Chains A and B, each alone.
Chain A
């Protein structure tokens, strides 16, 4: 019954490293989203994509980029990781009537 999967549950990276977070959905959804979640700040939208090779900036895109080469896969890239990017990263996939989240990736940048 798995619908949205993320490549890692926990990740530890060093400052300056390039980090790839992958998200795969099996529901043939067109819309996919990347959020980060921090205590007291809730969910904040980083990027979203409404079609293959299409992407739109969310509220906090700085320091991030995305890639959507195939409909089922949406990747988030941290070009040069910094400590303020330590967070829980959540991918979501949206159909017409529902939105499903992945299990999240807890990223720690040291």
Chain B
């Protein structure tokens, strides 16, 4: 069964305390793995796309990595404004198009 699992469901960090969020998947026909940030009441904001194992992408305090079965979103020295829900999704080829399979997200709270 195609599935994307994110852990932990919720994470509380002190400001400056680095950590990692996990996204594991059992989806065949992987085209790409996407990370998003979502603030309450808003649509997800695109962060990164990773395509192959070993690939890394960075943006400010965020770094995403990809292996064959999972991806990590590393947050270095987080600030309170990094508080949000982080979603990952796997894009897979299905028929004549592509489909996205989403995890349920990790809710991150950074305490000043």
Kindly report which residue of chain B lies nearest to residue A3, judged by CB atoms. B46
In this complex, what residue of B is CB-closest to A94?
Answer: B98
The B24-52 residues at the A interface (CB cut-off 8 A) are 32, 34, 36, 41-46, 49
Q: Cβ of B46: which chain A residues have Cβ within 8 Å of it? A: 98-101
Question: By the criterion CB–CB under 8 Å, are A104 and B104 in contact?
Answer: no
Q: Does B73 reach chain A (CB closer than 8 Å)?
A: no
A interface majority secondary structure? strand
Instruction: Knowing A42-B104, A42-B105, say if A99 contacts B97 (CB, 8 Å).
Output: no
Interface residues of B (CB under 8 A from A): 32, 34, 36, 41-46, 49, 87, 89, 91, 95-100, 102-105
A60 at the interface (CB under 8 A from B): no
Nearest CB of chain A from residue B41's CB, rounded to whole Å: 7
Q: Report A's interface with B, CB cutoff 8 A.
A: 4, 31, 33, 35, 40-43, 45, 48, 50, 56, 58, 90, 92, 94, 97-104, 106
Contact, CB under 8 Å: B87 / A43: yes
**The one of B34, B42, B87, B104 that contacts A41, using a Cβ cutoff of 8 Å:** B104
Residues of B with C-beta under 8 A to A97: 32, 49
10 contacting pairs across A/B (C-beta < 8 A): A4-B43, A42-B104, A45-B99, A58-B99, A92-B100, A94-B98, A97-B32, A101-B43, A101-B44, A104-B43
Asked, given contacts A98-B46, A98-B49, A101-B46, whether A31 binds B98 with beta carbons under 8 Å apart, the answer is yes
The reply to whether B99 and A101 form a contact with Cβ atoms under 8 Å apart is no
Partner of A56, one of B95, B104, B105: B95
| A42-B102, A42-B105, A99-B34 known; A56-B97 Cβ under 8 A | yes
Closest to A4 in B: B43
Q: What distance in Å separates the Cβ of B68 from its nearest Cβ neighbour in chain A?
A: 21
Taking a contact as CB atoms closer than 8 A, the residue among A48, A98, A100 that contacts B99 in the complex is A48
With CB as the reference atom, state the residue of chain B lying closest to A41.
B104
Bound-state CA distance A108–B49 (Å) is 33
